[in-house]
């Protein structure tokens, strides 16, 4: 069984100060997909991860203290792909892929559009380009888990107040339509595959005591290619891990 965790840590150095290492040791995943490291490669605690049995693969943004993704893995990858080969996106350190035999894991950090129209336009262009990229990638790497912060709630069940948030970036009709289209290309939302209940979220605003009141958004996913559907054994969300404004999401697979 392989346990994969995806976690937007909102700054790896800040998360470590809040007990991330101790949590990781207890959680004991095989692969961890991290987003928003907000660190350059030399600021990642690689030696500490190594002491815990993890190989560390890091892809940072050019801009310091911004974005960045990483994969921690107990098994050494056969190959690691850093970025998508699209300079506008790779400049922001948003994509890393690790291959293990015929199975691949991606850690991805989709842009947020919440800061204004320019970034929302950037996000929509990214979504279109990302879907094309993944479509091509699947021809070479058909068995994929694409884990990360998608910055989109898919359905009304995935957000605490769907009516009031219907015009907010992250729950816009065009973003939700993109998510539906992405799934239709042959992906399984591993959490929803096994869990149909409401009130499960992976991100909460720091404002208005949102987390304590569970007024959240489910924007973090482990998306699994549909040729691996029968391999999904367990999927869940870990809101008790509190090193970030996000919490970890996991999938356990028989791969």
How sure is the predictor about 62, in pLDDT bands with cuts at 50, 70 and 90? very high
- Tell me, what's the pLDDT at 227? 98
149 annotated active-site: yes
- Tell me, what's the pLDDT at 171? 98
Contact 94, 69 (CB under 8 A): yes
- Per-residue pLDDT reduced to its tens digit, 97-127: 999 999 999 999 999 999 999 999 999 999 9
- Tell me, what's the pLDDT at 103? 97
- Tell me, what's the pLDDT at 201? 98
Q: Which domains does the chain have, with CATH numbers?
A: 2-253 (3.60.10.10)
- Tell me, what's the pLDDT at 254? 97
Contact 144, 225 (CB under 8 A): yes
Q: Span 208-214, mean pLDDT?
A: 97
Classify 135 as helix, strand or coil: helix
How sure is the predictor about 58, in pLDDT bands with cuts at 50, 70 and 90? very high
Neighbours of 213 (CB within 10 A): 10
Global confidence as pTM: 0.98
Place of tokens 């409401």: 198
Closest CA relative to residue 247, chosen from 202, 201, 191: 202
**What Cα–Cα distance (Å) separates residue 24 from each residue in 12, 18, 31, 169, 203?**
12, 12, 11, 31, 19
Q: Catalytic: which of 25, 78, 129, 149?
A: 149
- Per-residue pLDDT reduced to its tens digit, 13-23: 999 999 999 99
Polymer length in residues for the chain: 255
Q: Quick one: which H or E segment has residue 161?
A: none
- Per-residue pLDDT reduced to its tens digit, 141-179: 999 999 999 999 999 999 999 999 999 999 999 999 999
How sure is the predictor about 50, in pLDDT bands with cuts at 50, 70 and 90? very high
Q: Span 83-98, mean pLDDT?
A: 98
């Amino acid at each position: 069984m392989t346990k994969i965790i995806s976690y937007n840590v909102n700054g790896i150095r800040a998360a470590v100060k809040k007990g991330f290492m101790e949590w990781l040791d207890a959680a004991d995943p095989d692969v961890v997909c991290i987003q928003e490291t907000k660190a350059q490669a030399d600021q990642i605690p690689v030696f500490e991860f190594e002491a815990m049995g993890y190989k560390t693969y890091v892809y940072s943004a050019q801009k310091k203290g911004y974005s960045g993704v990483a994969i921690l893995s107990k098994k050494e990858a056969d190959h690691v792909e850093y970025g998508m080969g699209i300079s506008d996106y790779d400049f922001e350190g948003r994509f890393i892929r690790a291959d293990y035999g015929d199975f691949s894991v991606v850690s991805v950090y989709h842009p947020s559009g919440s800061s204004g129209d320019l970034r929302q336009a950037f996000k929509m262009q990214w979504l279109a380009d990302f879907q094309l990229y993944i479509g091509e990638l699947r021809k070479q790497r058909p068995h994929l888990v694409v884990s990360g912060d998608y910055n989109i709630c898919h359905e009304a069940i995935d957000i605490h107040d769907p009516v009031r948030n219907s015009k907010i970036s992250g729950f816009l009709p065009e973003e939700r339509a993109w998510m539906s289209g992405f799934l239709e290309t042959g992906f399984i939302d591993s959490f929803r595959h096994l869990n149909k209940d409401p009130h499960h979220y992976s991100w909460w605003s720091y404002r208005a005591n949102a987390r304590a009141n569970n007024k959240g958004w489910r924007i973090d996913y482990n998306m699994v290619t549909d040729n691996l559907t029968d391999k999904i054994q367990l999927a869940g969300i870990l809101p008790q891990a509190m090193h970030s404004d996000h919490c970890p999401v996991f999938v356990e697979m028989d791969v």
